[in-house]
Amino acid sequence: MKKRVLITDVDNTLLDWQELWYQTFSAMTDKVIEISGVDSEVLYAECSQIHQKYGTSECSRLLAELPCLNHLYGDDAVTVMQPAIDEFRKVRRQVLCLYPTVENTLKRLRAAGILIAAYTESQAFYTNYRFRKLGLDGLVDYLYSPPDHAMPDGIESARFYAPETYKFQHTVHQFTPEGELKPNPDLLIDIINDLGASKDEVVYVGDNILKDVYMAQQAGVTDAQALYGVSQHKPEYELLRKVTHWTPEMVERERSALKPDGLKPTHILKDSFSEVLPLFGVD
């Protein structure tokens, strides 16, 4: 059957999320250490605890809740650490970009009448920001992501601007059930049904052989691994491992998923996202 729907992972498939995270987090924590004198290992351990509390390695409340900073500065911790926040934002502006060929490939697929959806485990706030800043609003028809993490009692949101600032103009943003993580073939099938498509019409693309390839295969969907985005072998992964919200079991699963026995992608996008075009009959 002719393929008419692309469902794509986002992080390390459309953009180098690990490099973005590493550069921004390092810039922020380096400045925190410079200002406060806090030991880096103490800081990383506390970051991990907060990330696990909120279930994400991108926590908007991180600096406000670090015990080491609250001990030093009390309620003024965020104010004192404003230079670290500024450094994070500066580096994010410098580093945030799509992989080469992603924008042009999405435009060519849309021109060919292909429905495009994105499915990510990254929570809504930062995913929404990246979509708007990268020009993906409108290039992607539907975005499926978890909602934002919960906020402490008495704090409604970490957002600084009016709600309409964060709204997509074109892309429809749908939320996946809270706590549901990849690989979840049933959730992938639910997304396909929500798109009004059949499994035979879909190509699913993602970098992670366990979370993406295995999930697609279990759902009976044509899979393609974005091999160019595989990141667990990079040195930067060690910092992520130190401060991640993942449990030790999840980290080990990520590592062992590099070369799982008997699990191979059906298609491989070796060098760029544009290699998905022939799967849709687009030259």
Q: Are residues 39 and 165 in the same domain?
A: no
Which run of H or E residues covers position 269?
strand 267-269
The pLDDT of residue 150 is above 60: no
* 84 and 118 within one domain: no
Stated pTM of the model: 0.88
Pairwise CA distance, residues 101 & 283, whole Å:
14
pLDDT of residue 151: 46
- Average pLDDT on 138-165 reads 69
**What is the arithmetic mean of pLDDT over 152-179?**
72
Same domain, 149 and 198: yes
pLDDT range class, residue 153, cuts 50, 70, 90: very low
Candidates 223, 227, 214, 222; CA nearest to 257 is 214
Do residue 130 and residue 79 come from a single domain?
no
- Same structural domain, 169 and 207: yes
Peptide bond into 183 cis (omega under 30): yes
pLDDT tens track for 55-93: 888 988 899 999 999 999 999 999 999 999 999 999 999
Asked whether residue 172 falls in the same domain as residue 275, the answer is: yes
Q: Tokens representing 141? A: 């028809």
pLDDT mean across residues, the chain? 89
Structural tokens at position 212: 């993406």
Share of the chain above pLDDT 70, in %: 85
Euclidean distance between CA atoms 229 and 12, whole angstroms: 5
Q: Are residues 132 and 233 in the same domain?
A: yes
Distance of CA 247 to the CA centre of its chain: 18
- Whether residues 135 and 215 fall in one domain: yes
Per-residue pLDDT at 1: 82
Query: What DSSP state is assigned to residue 279?
Result: G
Judgement on whether residues 234 and 172 belong to the same structural domain of the protein: yes
Domain around 25: 21-94
The C-alpha atoms of residue 37 and residue 229 are separated, in whole angstroms, by 35
State residue 11's pLDDT score: 96
Let me know whether 178 and 85 are in one domain: no
Which of 42, 67, 94 is the last residue in one of the domains?
94
218-245 as b/e, with b when 16 or more CB fall inside 10 Å? Answer: ebebbbbbbebbbbbeeeebebbeebbb
At 230 the pLDDT is: 86
Average pLDDT over residues 238-263: 66
pLDDT at position 31, please?
98
**Residue 239 is encoded by which pair of tokens?**
């910092």
Please tell me whether residues 113 and 83 are part of one structural domain.
Answer: no
Count Cα atoms within 13 angstroms, Cβ side, for 131: 32
pLDDT tens, residue by residue, 192-205: 999 999 999 999 99
Among candidate residues 94, 112, 130, the one where a domain is terminated: 94
- DSSP-assigned states of every residue in 212-264: IIIHHHHHT-EEEEEGGG--TTSTTHHHHHHH-SS-HHHHHHHHHTTS-TT--
Residue 236 in this model has a pLDDT that exceeds 90: no
- Give the pLDDT score at 245: 64
- Number of folded domains in the chain? 2
* Res 149: pLDDT: 54
Yes or no: say if 201 and 4 are a contact pair by the CB < 8 Å rule: yes
- 164, pLDDT greater than 80: no
Q: How confident is the model at residue 239 (pLDDT cuts 50, 70, 90)?
A: confident
3-class state of residue 201 by DSSP? helix
Whether residues 177 and 206 share a domain: the answer is yes
Of 42, 71, 94, the last residue of a domain is 94
Q: What is the helix (H) or strand (E) element at residue 150, kind and residue range?
A: none
**CATH number of 270's domain:** 3.40.50.1000
pLDDT tens-digit readout, 92-142: 999 999 999 999 999 999 999 999 999 999 988 899 999 999 999 999 999
Mean pLDDT of 169-178: 95
**Which positions ≥6 away from 270 have C-beta within 8 Å?**
227, 228
